[in-house]
Amino acid sequence: MQITMTVNGVSHTRDVEARLLLIHFLRDELRLTGSHWGCDTSNCGACVVWLDETPVKSCTVLAAMADGRRVRTVEDLARGGRLDPVQQGFAECHGLQCGFCTPGMMMTARWLLDHHPDPSVAEIREALSGQLCRCTGYENIVRSVRWASEHEAAQPAGGDGGTGRQAGER
Amino acid sequence: MDLETITEYRPAPGAAWQPGDAWLGGGTWLFSEPQPGLRRLLDLRGFGWAPLTESRGGLEIAATCTIAELARWRPGGPAAVAWATVPLLRQCCDALLASFKVQNMATVGGNICLALPAGAMTSLAAALDGVTTLWSPGGGVREVPVIGFVTGPGTTVLRPGELLRSVTLPDASLRGRTAFRQASLSRLGRSAALVIGRTDGPGLVITVTAATPRPVQFRFAARPSPDEATAALDRAGLDRAGLDGAGLDGAGLDGGHLTWHDDVHGAPAWRAAMTRRFVAEVAAELRE
Ligand SMILES: Cc1cc2nc3c(=O)[nH]c(=O)nc-3n(C[C@H](O)[C@H](O)[C@H](O)COP(=O)(O)OP(=O)(O)OC[C@H]3O[C@@H](n4cnc5c(N)ncnc54)[C@H](O)[C@@H]3O)c2cc1C
Ligand code: FES
Ligand code: FES
């Protein structure tokens, strides 16, 4: 069947099998391998992407269900050669070791900060629930998100918040 | 999860149901386990049902309403004042193990039709005397109270090809005061015991889910004391069965066979003890 979806601002039309999952469409068809495929049972969250502005586990969505919709993946975080503050936070605070869980963690963290710019540790932990990290013990991931929150807040008014984006883009 | 046997995905409207078909809600369960018997997925979103419809009669929740939509919803108009139970909607959405990433896709109908004891949408709708509207493949429509819709872990009254169209929560139930208690082995874990009390005029309705294989309800004509409420539970035989960790054949409510549910999310004896405590607590909270 033929589907069209906008991924990271670019429209893609492809013929796909009905059973193809969104995570495989992104990785295998579009070669956007940043999103990871982990547990395959909807539990680990490595595959989290945004579907029409909301984070979902892309291993529980058919590519066909995303027909006509917008998808955002981790590849869209850095722009114009500048890392998103969430990415910077993970680098500064050692929020990753093997990096397998990281794309999903970052996409959820980006959504959280867009909606709650100053989340508490408890709110960060709750937002990241359902996403598993086998390496870090989570402490540094939570610190990374706090780092991003504090550095975005510290940006001068009217600036792009370090995101490299124009005002209103997000 | 890859569902390798699926050969067709299509919108549900106009599709003639056949063996090997599954109604697709949010897919959060369908895609989380192997489904070797399935061939076609019929996507209910194709109906384009309004997720939540307020009326004088109550609140109609479409089967395709996502759990995230329900959690966010607030009534408008006179209902905003009258429907005291609205916070319960959010409490039940939060009672799922599923994080908001799953709740963004998972539907209320999918949760009820999956019929897990820990199905918090069943808990909600049963506690508020919700009534399901079911569409049969031949075009028939029937209504079944939620309390009788789930018949056991993973089983419902749905016939082959029948689908859940919506659940209606009656206006009168939405006006009651409620008390909510839930226990799980971890803070955001899968519910092992969930008790909801709701005032019903001078009376009280207590609904037990998660701890039992299917919803169990106690209706009191007047507000019971905590002791009176737990006595009702004991009389139903649930308490003894639970503490023994054994089923109680033939002694259940409504002539059913009631046992405490037993799986990795909680031992039967613990579920029984938590339920008894919660029943006493909701009776005390709603007595004032
Ligand atoms: C991480 C995780 C945690 C979870 N935690 C919980 C939990 O705590 N409690 C719980 O109960 N569940 C839980 N689930 C299971 C499941 O995600 C939820 O029950 C969810 O609400 C199912 O809704 P859905 O729309 O995704 O259903 P789907 O996966 O689309 O469907 C579920 C079943 O219901 C049928 N169905 C769907 N809609 C209808 C309809 N309108 N009429 C007839 N049949 C229909 C489908 O054919 C299928 O058999 C969890 C799942 C995951 C991945
Ligand atoms: S691969 Fe999607 S949740 Fe693990
Ligand atoms: S960094 Fe290895 S799984 Fe999270």
Q: What is the residue with the minimal CA distance to atom 21 of ligand 1?
A: B111
User: What average pLDDT is seen over chain B?
Assistant: 90
Please say whether the beta carbons of B228 and B247 come within 8 A.
no
Angle between helices B86-94 and B120-127 (to 10 degrees): 160
The span from the CA of B22 to the CA of B4, in Å, is 14
Pairing relationship of beta strands B8-11 and A70-72 according to DSSP bridges: unpaired
**Closest-CA distance of chain B to residue A99, Å:** 20
Residue B238: what pLDDT? Answer: 58
Q: Which two tokens stand for residue A153?
A: 């807040």
Dump pLDDT digits (tens) for A145-167.
Answer: 999 999 997 775 444 433 434 33
Q: Note the pLDDT of residue A158.
A: 43
Cα angle vertex B253, ends B247, B254, to 5°? 130
Nearest CA to ligand 3 atom 3: A133
State residue B252's pLDDT score.
36
Q: Ligand 1 centre and the CA of A27: distance in Å?
A: 26
B224-273 confidence digits (pLDDT tens): 999 999 988 887 765 444 433 323 333 334 444 457 899 999 999 999 99
Domains assigned to chain B: 8-41 (no CATH), 50-173 (3.30.465.10), 177-285 (3.30.390)
- A77 close to B (CB below 8 A): no
Q: How many angstroms separate the alpha carbon of residue A31 from the centre of ligand 2?
A: 18
Q: Taking the mean position of all CA atoms in its chain, how far away is CA B70?
A: 13
Which of B254, B251, B183 minimizes the C-alpha distance to B217?
Answer: B254
At residue B244, the pLDDT reads: 38
Is A129 part of the contact surface with chain B (CB cutoff 8 Å)? Answer: yes
pLDDT given at position B231: 87
> Can you give the pLDDT at residue B83?
94
Q: Which of B111, B108, B3 is nearest to A61 (CA)?
A: B3
Q: How much is the pLDDT for A6?
A: 98
Predicted confidence at residue B234, as pLDDT, reads 80
Residues B129-160 have pLDDT tens digits of: 999 999 999 899 999 999 999 999 999 999 99
CB B130 within 8 A of CB B122: no
Per residue of chain A (170 residues), give pLDDT as tens.
999 999 999 999 999 999 999 999 999 999 999 999 999 889 999 999 999 999 999 999 999 999 999 999 999 999 899 999 999 999 999 999 999 999 999 999 999 999 999 999 999 999 999 999 999 999 999 999 999 999 997 775 444 433 434 333 33
User: Taking a C-beta distance cutoff of 8 angstroms, is the pair A60, B102 a contact?
Assistant: yes
Residue A54 contacts B where some CB pair is shorter than 8 Å = yes
Q: Strand B163-170 vs strand B58-62: parallel, antiparallel, or unpaired?
A: antiparallel
Say if ligand 1 is within 6 A of residue B112 CB.
Answer: no
**Residue B10 pLDDT > 60:** yes
How is A101-136 classified by DSSP, letter by letter? SHHHHHHHHHHHHHH-SS--HHHHHHHTTT---SSS
Report the 10 Å Cβ neighbour count for B117.
29
Asked if the Cβ–Cβ distance from B102 to A57 is below 8 Å, we say yes
pLDDT at B65 over 70: yes
Task: Please name the residue that has the structure tokens 């490595």.
Answer: A46
Tell me the C-alpha distance between A13 and B11, whole Å.
Answer: 19
What local confidence, expressed as pLDDT, does residue A165 receive?
40
Domains of chain A, CATH where assigned: 2-76 (3.10.20.30), 85-153 (1.10.150.120)
User: Which residues from chain A sit within 8 angstroms of residue B104, using beta carbons?
Assistant: 51, 54-56
- Please indicate if any CB of chain B lies within 8 Å of the CB of A46: no
Please tell me the predicted confidence (pLDDT) of residue A67: 97
A107 Cβ inside 6 Å of ligand 2: no
pLDDT digits (tens, 9 = 90+) for B202-225: 999 999 999 999 999 989 999 999
Inter-chain Cβ pairs, chain A and chain B, closer than 8 A: 78
Between B77 and B285, name the one with better pLDDT.
Answer: B285
- With a 6 A CB cut-off, is B102 part of the ligand 1 pocket? yes
What is the structure's pLDDT at B155?
A: 95
